[in-house]
Structure 1
Amino acid sequence: MSLMQMLSFGDTGWGMALLKAALMTVLLTLAALVVGALVGSLVAMAKLSKSVPCDTWGMPIPSCSGGFRSCW
């Protein structure tokens, strides 16, 4: 079986499976971007808040994102 037959979209090829895997990778990347943006926005709002509990909650998060060694 040649490389082009294996990459084809027919019955013997892996083309559709590779296309689905690429789509899943893109969707996972977009989901991670949205979650990261939401968490980052919440932490930034907590850091900038004048409320003491929110500022206290938002303080250790940026220092922990550099690595777990800096948290402990």
Structure 2
Amino acid sequence: MPQNDYMDLHRKRHGRRLDYEERQYVHVYFFAFWRKKEARAGHARSQMAKKLRGQKAKLYHKKRYSEK
């Protein structure tokens, strides 16, 4: 078996990553940045929800509750 066939063999057995097509765009760096930013947005929103006080907190929680 040639040395480079192990990659094809693995792909045949296990398939590709679920986000393979998404990562193959021309602007790979932009999409990687966008995916990371989207993934981190939840953490930032939860931190803001913890830190807000008073009327701002009430409005923010009401807005977040209505999104769900």
Asked if TM exceeds 0.5, the reply is no
Higher RCO by CA contacts (8 Å cutoff, separation 6 or greater):
2
Task: Report the TM-score, using the length of structure 2 for normalisation.
Answer: 0.37
Kindly name which structure, 1 or 2, has the bigger radius of gyration based on alpha carbons.
Answer: 1
